[in-house]
Amino acid sequence: MVFIQERKAKGEVYLYIDKSIRIGKKVHKISRFLGKKSEVSPEKIKMEKKKFALEIDTKIVLLLVAEAKKRYPSFEFPLTIEEIKKIEEMNLQYKEIRRSLNKKDWEDVKKRFVANFVFESNALEGNSLTLKNFSEIVFENKIIASADLREVYDAKNSYDVFSKLFDSKKEISGEFIIELHKKLMKNVDQRVGYKKLPNIILGRAITLTAPENVSQEMKNLLKWYQEKENKIYPLELAFKFHHKFEQIHPFADGNGRVGRMLLNHILIRKGYYPIIIRNNHRNKYINALQSADLNRYILLIRFGIEKAKETYRKFFEVYYQYI
C-alpha cells in the first residue's frame, strides 16, 4: 500500500508518495515527489498514486528476484529466473490483498480458499461428496441422509485442520506431522501414528518404505528439510518435500491429505500463498510424482509452477482487481 506524506521545508509543505517494504533483513523505502501541497489537486494525487503503485510493484518484484537469486543461488529447471519473477509478482499481489482487506473480508476469502483446497484434496483421494454437499457439511453442519459418515468426518476434519494451519508458522517436526495426521483421522480411521503394515499406491510402480524403516526415514526427511530450508527456493522445497513424504507413505491412510497440507504449510511458513491441486489434474499430478520417483524432478517442478499460477489467477487475482 502506498501513502501520501507531508514534509516541510523553508515554510512550505510538500507532498510525497512513499512505500516501504522489507525484503530479507533490509527495509527498502521508495518515494516520489508530487509538489507543493497547495498546488497538487486531489485528482492529481489519485492519478499519481495509481501510476506509482504500478511502477513500484515492478521495482519491488525486481528486488525480490534479486534477493531470491542471492538466497537460493541454484534453481531446479524449469524454475528459471523468469518463472520466479512471475511467482514473486503474484505473491506480492497476494500480500497486498491480505494487507488491504478488512478482517471480516479476509476471513471470508480464507474460508472460501480452505473449502476449495480441502474439497479438491479429498476428491483426489476418492471422497465422493459434491461441492454443494461439502459446503453444507462444513458451513451449515447439514448432513444428507445418504452421506457416507466417513466422508463427512473426512470433510469436517480436513476443513478444521487446514483452517488452523493456514495462518500457522509452526516448525515442522515428527511430532507435528503425527499430530496433524491424528486430527485428520478422527472418527475416520483408528490407525493413527506410523503404519504397522506395508501399504501400496494403486497405479504407481514404487516400493514404499517398510513399516520398520518409517521412523528413521521420516527423521532423514526432516533432516533433509532442515538442511535445504534456506537453500532451495520455497516452491521447489515444498514440492520436493511433498514427493519425498509420499515416497515414505508413513501412515496407513491419509498420506495424500497430510502431504498436500504439509506442502502448503511450507509455502505459508516461507511467506508464500498456498496452492490448490485440483482433482481434474490428478493424472498430471500422479505422472509428475512418478517421474520424481526416478529422481527426475522436471515434471514435478513444472507442475508446481503451473499450480501456483493457476491458483493465483483463478482464485486470488479477482480480489486484487478490487483493492
The better pLDDT of the pair 32, 129 is held by 129
Residue 79 lies in a domain: no
Distance CA 52, CA 136 (A): 44
Residue with cell 533432516: 223
Residue 273 is part of a domain; what is its CATH number? Answer: 1.10.3290.10
Residue 39 lies in a domain: yes
Q: Do residue 249 and residue 306 come from a single domain?
A: yes
Q: Do residue 172 and residue 25 come from a single domain?
A: no
Q: Do residue 272 and residue 141 come from a single domain?
A: yes
Residue 27 lies in a domain: yes
Question: What is the number of domains present in the chain?
Answer: 2
Distance CA 42, CA 90 (A): 30
Q: Do residue 281 and residue 196 come from a single domain?
A: yes
Contact between 76 and 301 (Cβ < 8 Å):
yes
Residue 240 lies in a domain: yes
What would the pLDDT profile of 185-223 be if each residue is shown by its tens digit?
999 999 999 999 999 887 677 889 999 999 999 999 999
Distance CA 267, CA 260 (A): 11
Q: Which domain holds residue 31?
A: 3-71
For residue 129, pLDDT over 70 is answered with: yes
Q: Do residue 44 and residue 105 come from a single domain?
A: no
The better pLDDT of the pair 321, 210 is held by 210
Order the strands of the 3-9 sheet from edge to edge. Answer: 3-9, 12-23, 26-36
Distance CA 138, CA 209 (A): 34
What would the pLDDT profile of 7-35 be if each residue is shown by its tens digit?
988 888 998 888 877 777 778 788 888 88
Task: Quote the pLDDT of residue 51.
Answer: 81
Task: Quote the pLDDT of residue 1.
Answer: 65
What would the pLDDT profile of 234-281 be if each residue is shown by its tens digit?
999 999 999 999 999 999 999 999 999 999 999 999 999 999 999 999
Q: Do residue 281 and residue 197 come from a single domain?
A: yes
Task: Quote the pLDDT of residue 279.
Answer: 96
Q: Do residue 139 and residue 181 come from a single domain?
A: yes
Distance CA 244, CA 261 (A): 14
Task: Quote the pLDDT of residue 75.
Answer: 82
b or e along 120-142 (b: 16 or more beta carbons within 10 Å of the residue's beta carbon)? bbbbbbebebeeebbbbbbeeee
What would the pLDDT profile of 48-96 be if each residue is shown by its tens digit?
887 887 777 888 898 899 999 999 988 888 999 999 999 999 999 999 9
Distances in Å between the alpha carbon of 102 and those of 90, 97, 119, 274? 20, 10, 26, 20
Q: Do residue 280 and residue 195 come from a single domain?
A: yes
Q: What is the mean pLDDT of residues 286-303?
A: 96
Task: Kindly tell me the burial class for residue 1, based on how many C-beta atoms sit within 10 Å of its own C-beta (0-12, 13-18, 19 or more).
Answer: exposed
What would the pLDDT profile of 270-292 be if each residue is shown by its tens digit?
999 999 999 999 999 999 999 99
Return the percentage of the chain with pLDDT > 70, whole number: 99
Q: What is the mean pLDDT of residues 42-47?
A: 86
Looking at 71, 88, 110, the residue that finishes a domain is 71
Residue 122 lies in a domain: yes
Entry pTM? 0.88
Residue 300 lies in a domain: yes
> And the C-alpha cell for 142?
447439514
Q: Do residue 61 and residue 104 come from a single domain?
A: no
What would the pLDDT profile of 137-158 be if each residue is shown by its tens digit?
999 999 877 788 999 999 999 9
Q: Do residue 56 and residue 202 come from a single domain?
A: no
For residue 310, pLDDT over 80 is answered with: yes
Residue 81 lies in a domain: no
Q: Do residue 29 and residue 146 come from a single domain?
A: no
Q: Which residues does 261 contact at the CB level (< 8 Å), separation at least 6?
A: 121, 161, 162, 165, 180, 184
Task: Quote the pLDDT of residue 226.
Answer: 97
Q: Do residue 67 and residue 106 come from a single domain?
A: no
Residue 237 lies in a domain: yes
